[in-house]
A and B are shown apart, each in its own frame.
Chain A
Amino acid sequence: MRTLGLRGRVILGFAAGALLLSVMVTLVTDVVSARYLVDQRERAASRQAVVNGLFVESRLTRDGADPSGALGAVRLGTGAEAILVAPEASASTAIGLTTDDLPADLVSATEARQPSVQISRSGGTPVVAVGVPLQGGYAYYEVTELANLDTTLQTIIWAGVAAALLTSLLGAALGWWAASRVLRPLNDVAQAATKLAAGDLEARAPTTTDPDLTAISSSFNAMADTLATRIQRDAQFAADVSHELRSPLTTMTASASVLESRRAELPSVAREAVDLLVVDIARFAELLEDLLDLARDHEPLDPATQPVVDLADLASLELDGRQDLLVRSGETLVRADGRRLSRVIANLVQNADAHGGGVTRVAIEQFGDAVRLSVSDAGPGVPLENREAVFDRFSRGMSTPSRASSGGTGLGLALVRDHVLAHGGACWYEDADSGGACFVVEIPGAPS
């Protein structure tokens, strides 16, 4: 079963609470109002019965009416029937209704000249029976069915059910609102974390005065501070290393170039040593540049701040003297750091030349809203299992038994990926139509 989130649980809790409360209120209302209504009806019925009894009495005694005549003149309420018990003959307003149908205590109490009221449930419907002793040995009984009382109570119950549903909904809404209130600071922290992860080292959770929330936001911000300091220190370290290594390397490259230009004057052993030295100093310099590039360019670029560059122009520059390999179609403008994209193209071309038997085709094509650069080569391609790994640092994914002689640093494709990701693009491997490898780079296009 899927567990509910905090928001879901709060909403459910509020709804259940509201439902429980409204059910209780409905029940209490029902009981209380039933009592009250019965009570009121009972009082009304007895008052009416007394009035009717006195009326019957006056008809009997003053006007000399016979019992059925006296009873016939009484105006009864709905659902009410009356019995007049006379010493000689009894009368009733309903056929077959006698004092036997009345509660025995009521009858005996009335016969003892004691006016009394009783509620009974004969056959499901509550009935109010009132006994009024009259002068001259008469007794007047009135029986009122409280049928419409039940309907009223039912209406109250239905209203209660409707109210319960409504309050549950309101409760859920309240829960949603409360949960949002509670979760908002968490969302703020989550948003700050997302921004931080995306490379915005300035992102911080908003500070709050709420004592319940300061703990989380301040510890998050402390973490972000530590992280930012560490990243800045790393960048500083890279810059320092850069400076410290580049200086001796400059001496080495310059000196090596002197030796190289005097190569002809050297004995053959020294000549061979100089050749090794020159090549490896160059390789070392390249490796240093690549490493520093990797250490440096980890922040995503904001495309809006970048100039518009034509990817096809950049590729054309990198393909110096091999323009016939270049294929371009559609709009090829992107917002980008030209230096870094030149690096991407140069590395892909170099990779194809060093490991893929030479570049066969460089295509720059508009692809929907993006611009695609694909560099194909004449090599054997990359086996399926290595297609992700070729983009790793010092990757052994390419079949390069002698990387040293082919001149790569093992960082070229890692740099490609870094630069492309920083531009919000993507890169991947495909098999070229011609059978070789094809490295594809996609950069979001610059809307013109």
Chain B
Amino acid sequence: MAVKTLLVEDDDRIRAALRLALGEEGFEVIEASDVAEGLAAFEREQPDVLLVDVMLGNSDGRDLIREVRTRSQVPIIITSARGDTTDVVAGLEAGADDYVVKPIVVKELAARIRAVRRRDAPVRAEESPTDVVVLSSGPSGLTFSKNGGWLRRGADEVTLTAMEFRLLVELSRHLGQMLSRPQLLERVWGYQTSGDDRLVDVTVRRLRVKLENDPSQPELLVTVRGLGYRLQART
């Protein structure tokens, strides 16, 4: 079955061209031109992936992302005409998983869509048989299962987006070891060549909000000397 993609873009011509091009790549494309239309289409069609332009004429694509995130952890990719400004970071902070900068190269976009849709990172030989990782102990301790696909604080499940989950999986595979930003970009986001460090930084920030007692004083997901990040269990 074709991957159902919701394309929220205010420029009719871009929308039409991307619909054709993504169709050629085997995606089913649903179109919306603003936040309201996008939300309606999201509810109606239950797409597999969202492509959201952050600047939707008079409305803000980030509002749509935040609204969708209250009800779904579906992968979201931002399309932005400005790669250098803060709206990429703002869009990622709103809950997007990745971004592409216009002019969009369709082959790259298709690769990004496929990358964010893989909820489970590529299976590796050294995967441990005991799957559940205890990150912190106590009644509201954090436990995490790669195969089960869940993160729990005590008995409550913590919702994670696809990329947050994959980042956690990758870091927990190397529990106590530092992973550099380029390594994470390659293993989690599937960037073969250099990606944008901000992807890692923002996703780590989002993950910290869900993991740490005090996200500004991380104890589990710590920064290593500006080089990368390390996940450490605290038991």
Contacts of A243 in B (CB 8 A): 55, 81-82
Q: Are B226 and A308 in contact, with the CB atoms below 8 A?
A: yes
| A–B complex contacts, Cβ < 8 Å, 30 sampled | A239-B82, A243-B55, A246-B81, A246-B102, A249-B102, A250-B14, A250-B18, A250-B103, A250-B104, A251-B16, A252-B17, A252-B103, A253-B103, A253-B104, A254-B14, A254-B21, A254-B104, A257-B24, A307-B226, A309-B227, A310-B227, A313-B180, A313-B182, A314-B182, A314-B194, A318-B194, A320-B192, A339-B196, A339-B197, A346-B193
The verdict on B106 contacting chain A, using a C-beta distance below 8 Å, is: yes
Contacts of A292 in B (CB 8 A): 84
Contacts of A288 in B (CB 8 A): 103
Closest 5 CB pairs of A and B: A254-B17, A249-B103, A342-B194, A246-B102, A307-B226
Least CB distance, B101 to chain A, in whole angstroms: 8
Q: Contacts A307-B197, A339-B194 hold; do A258 and B102 have CB atoms under 8 A apart?
A: no
CA distance A35 to B192 in the complex (A): 102
Least CB distance, A246 to chain B, in whole angstroms: 4
Q: Are A257 and B21 in contact, with the CB atoms below 8 A?
A: yes
User: Contact size class for B?
Assistant: 20 to 34
The verdict on A185 contacting chain B, using a C-beta distance below 8 Å, is: no
The verdict on B114 contacting chain A, using a C-beta distance below 8 Å, is: no
User: Contact size class for A?
Assistant: 35 or more
The verdict on A208 contacting chain B, using a C-beta distance below 8 Å, is: no
CA distance A339 to B182 in the complex (A): 11
The verdict on A248 contacting chain B, using a C-beta distance below 8 Å, is: yes
Contacts of B18 in A (CB 8 A): 250, 254
Least CB distance, A316 to chain B, in whole angstroms: 9
Q: Are B14 and A247 in contact, with the CB atoms below 8 A?
A: yes
- Number of A-B residue pairs with CB-CB distance less than 8 Å in the complex they form: 98
Contacts of A346 in B (CB 8 A): 193
Contacts of B21 in A (CB 8 A): 254-255, 257-258
CA distance A86 to B138 in the complex (A): 136
Interface residues of B in 184-199 (CB under 8 A from A): 192-194, 196-197
CA distance A318 to B21 in the complex (A): 28
CA distance A342 to B194 in the complex (A): 7
Q: Are B81 and A247 in contact, with the CB atoms below 8 A?
A: yes
Contacts of A308 in B (CB 8 A): 225-227
Least CB distance, B84 to chain A, in whole angstroms: 6
Max count, chain B CB within 10 A of own CB: residue among A242, A251, A262, A314: A251
Q: Contacts A310-B180, A318-B193 hold; do A251 and B24 have CB atoms under 8 A apart?
A: no
CA distance A251 to B11 in the complex (A): 9
CA distance A345 to B192 in the complex (A): 15
Q: Are B105 and A253 in contact, with the CB atoms below 8 A?
A: yes
Q: Are A257 and B107 in contact, with the CB atoms below 8 A?
A: yes
Closest to B23 in A: A258
CA distance A320 to B186 in the complex (A): 12
Interface residues of A in 411-438 (CB under 8 A from B): none
Contacts of A407 in B (CB 8 A): none
Contacts of B181 in A (CB 8 A): 307, 338
Q: Are A320 and B193 in contact, with the CB atoms below 8 A?
A: yes
Q: Are A258 and B24 in contact, with the CB atoms below 8 A?
A: yes
Closest to B193 in A: A317
The verdict on A16 contacting chain B, using a C-beta distance below 8 Å, is: no
Closest to A337 in B: B197
The verdict on A209 contacting chain B, using a C-beta distance below 8 Å, is: no
| Cβ contacts B5-40/A at 8 Å (1 or 0 each) | 000000101101110110010000000000000000
Contacts of B197 in A (CB 8 A): 307, 338-339
Closest to A284 in B: B103
Least CB distance, A441 to chain B, in whole angstroms: 16
CA distance A291 to B24 in the complex (A): 31
CA distance A40 to B85 in the complex (A): 93
Least CB distance, A97 to chain B, in whole angstroms: 104
Contacts of A258 in B (CB 8 A): 17, 20-21, 24
CA distance A300 to B20 in the complex (A): 42
Closest to A249 in B: B103
Contacts of A151 in B (CB 8 A): none
The verdict on A3 contacting chain B, using a C-beta distance below 8 Å, is: no
Contacts of A314 in B (CB 8 A): 182, 194
Least CB distance, B131 to chain A, in whole angstroms: 31
Least CB distance, A446 to chain B, in whole angstroms: 8
CA distance A257 to B21 in the complex (A): 6
> Residue A250 contacts which of B102, B196, B225 (CB distance < 8 angstroms)?
B102
Contacts of B106 in A (CB 8 A): 253-254, 257
Closest to A345 in B: B194
Closest to A248 in B: B13
Closest to A446 in B: B226
Least CB distance, A94 to chain B, in whole angstroms: 102
In the complex, given contacts A247-B81, A250-B18, what are 18 additional A-B residue pairs having Cβ atoms less than 8 angstroms apart?
A: A239-B84, A243-B81, A253-B104, A254-B21, A255-B21, A257-B21, A257-B24, A258-B20, A285-B103, A307-B227, A308-B226, A310-B180, A314-B194, A317-B193, A318-B194, A335-B226, A339-B197, A342-B193
